[in-house]
Amino acid sequence: MVPKDTSITIIGAGIGGLTCAISLQNLGYQIKVFERADQLTEIGAGLTIPPNARKAIQYLGFEKQVIEASYKPAKAAIKDYYSGDTLKEIDINPSGNNKVQENDNYSPIYGTLQIHRADFQSILLKEVLKNDPNSIFLNHEFTNFSINNGSLVCHFKDNKSYNTDALIACDGNKSLVRESINGNDKLNYLGYVAWRGLISSSDIPSNLIQPDTATFIGKNKIFARYKIRSGKIINYVGFSKKNDWEDESWTVRSSINELLSEFSDSTDEIVSLIKKTQTNQCFKWALAGREPIKKWSVNNITLLGDAAHPMLPFLGQGAAMAIEDSVILSRLFLNEDNIKDAFKKYEQNRINRTTMVMHGAELNGLKLSGSDYTNFIKDKNIYTEEEVAEYNPVEAAL
């Protein structure tokens, strides 16, 4: 086991940083998490938690809280974006009561949960603080690291710096640490713009949104909607092929009119949903692909989550990969006797899996919005969510 008195610094208190902190705190390590924001808030959006991530969450000990805060649809459908016709429908929860059943398993088809991101983050935060109330340092913007007399030092804005035995960078898709290990990313703007919004379910007649969860696919367009917060809120995200926007930030405001002009070629259902979007709950961002990197770890420094494998959203697996990373890393802390070996083996273990999911997400986006989209069921090159969700990070070979 990596010695228990190893001091560990995590940069970033997003889903990756907080989950990683829990996974190592569970083994008895003292963790410091540095976050640049002055308070922890999450964007108003939904998050799907696929079975591969659920298995990890169960292992980490907070599955009960996540299940309680999650919504489970009875059925999910894939529909034609232009006609509204159902292309595929599956029963997800035969009991139909939108609660996760006690005997619910992690089956790739039935095991996915839907949760508000803010609720998920608050569960993670509570766990981290329960383990160690002094582990999170807000208002700490990491700038760089240096090696002084063989010791690793992390530097922050306002001339703060701290020595550490190990650095785990969970600083998101624009990670400074990834840049210092691998150089600048080459961004490949896919020519898609994404919009997201929230709607109060009570504003929409229930017969209009059948079934509970649906993804609409069509040439140049994808639109997905699902419920969160006991079904009281409908979360949606729409993608349209467009070349005139290149801001990757998730917090640029858009407007209902802009959404309507983009998605008015769809069905009444989508148009009605957009019209009911809550004021100030409508945002847009450009989707940029990045090539998988070959190096995550250098000595006692490594990357985790979007910092290591920023990916497109077309498999709903970005956060799930960060959660898987955390479990594999903590298992390697148990198996290896020093940080350097644990980080090296973690990189070797995770690169193939995350590269496959990165490529799969990009390919799915292109195929589900390609001209042959109605044939997606027969397309052997589609990465189904079920295939990706079969993986179990708790039992995977190390």
Q: Which of 57, 322, 328, 339 binds ligand FAD (CB under 6 A)?
A: 322
Distance in Å, CB of 323 to ligand FAD, minimum: 8
Q: What is d(CA 334, CA 331) in angstroms, rounded to the nearest whole number? A: 5
Q: Which stretch binds ligand FAD (CB under 6 A): 13-21, 56-64, 339-347, 365-373?
A: 13-21
Phi, psi of 290 (to 5 degrees): -130, 145
Q: Which is nearer to ligand FAD, 167 or 170 (CB)?
A: 170
Q: Are strands 166-169 and 252-253 parallel, antiparallel or unpaired?
A: unpaired
Q: Which of 51, 313, 365, 393 binds ligand FAD (CB under 6 A)?
A: 313
Question: What is the Cα 30 distance to its own chain's centre?
Answer: 25
Q: Is there a contact between 113 and 49 (Cβ–Cβ < 8 Å)?
A: yes
Does position 213 bind ligand FAD by CB under 6 A? no
Distance in Å, CB of 377 to ligand FAD, minimum: 22
Q: Which is nearer to ligand FAD, 315 or 332 (CB)?
A: 315
Does position 32 bind ligand FAD by CB under 6 A? no
Does position 245 bind ligand FAD by CB under 6 A? no
Cis status of the peptide bond prior to 211, with omega within 30 of 0: yes
Distance in Å, CB of 208 to ligand FAD, minimum: 23
Q: Which is nearer to ligand FAD, 236 or 376 (CB)?
A: 236
Q: Which stretch binds ligand FAD (CB under 6 A): 182-190, 301-309, 341-349, 378-386?
A: 301-309
CA atoms within 13 A on the CB side of 373: 25
Q: Is there a contact between 48 and 168 (Cβ–Cβ < 8 Å)?
A: no
Amino acid at 26: N
Distance in Å, CB of 13 to ligand FAD, minimum: 5
- The size of the interface with ligand FAD (CB under 6 A), counted in residues, is 33
Measured from the Cβ of residue 351, the count of other Cβ atoms closer than 10 Å reads 17
Distance in Å, CB of 328 to ligand FAD, minimum: 15
Distance in Å, CB of 53 to ligand FAD, minimum: 7
**Residue from 388, 313, 394, 382 nearest 354 by CA:** 388
**DSSP at 291:** P
- What angle do helix axes 15-25 and 51-60 make, rounded to 10 degrees? 40
Give 378's contacts (C-beta < 8 A, 6+ positions apart): none
Distance in Å, CB of 207 to ligand FAD, minimum: 26
Q: What is the DSSP string of 32-56?
A: EEE-SSSS----S-EEEE-HHHHHH
Classify each residue of 247-283 as buried b or exposed e, where b means 16 or more C-beta atoms within 10 Å of its C-beta.
eeeeeeebebeebeebbeebbebbeebbebbeeebbb
Q: Which of 316, 360, 365, 393 binds ligand FAD (CB under 6 A)?
A: 316
Q: Which stretch binds ligand FAD (CB under 6 A): 92-100, 203-211, 302-310, 348-356?
A: 302-310
Distance in Å, CB of 305 to ligand FAD, minimum: 2
Does position 17 bind ligand FAD by CB under 6 A? yes
Q: What is d(CA 331, CA 339) in angstroms, rounded to the nearest whole number? A: 12
Does position 288 bind ligand FAD by CB under 6 A? no
Using only the alpha carbons of the chain, give its radius of gyration. 21
Q: Which is nearer to ligand FAD, 176 or 338 (CB)?
A: 176
Does position 197 bind ligand FAD by CB under 6 A? no
Does position 35 bind ligand FAD by CB under 6 A? yes
Does position 289 bind ligand FAD by CB under 6 A? no
Distance in Å, CB of 123 to ligand FAD, minimum: 14
Q: Would you tell me which residues interact with ligand FAD (CB under 6 A)?
A: 11-17, 34-37, 45, 47-48, 141-142, 170-172, 176, 196, 237, 250, 305-307, 313, 316-320, 322
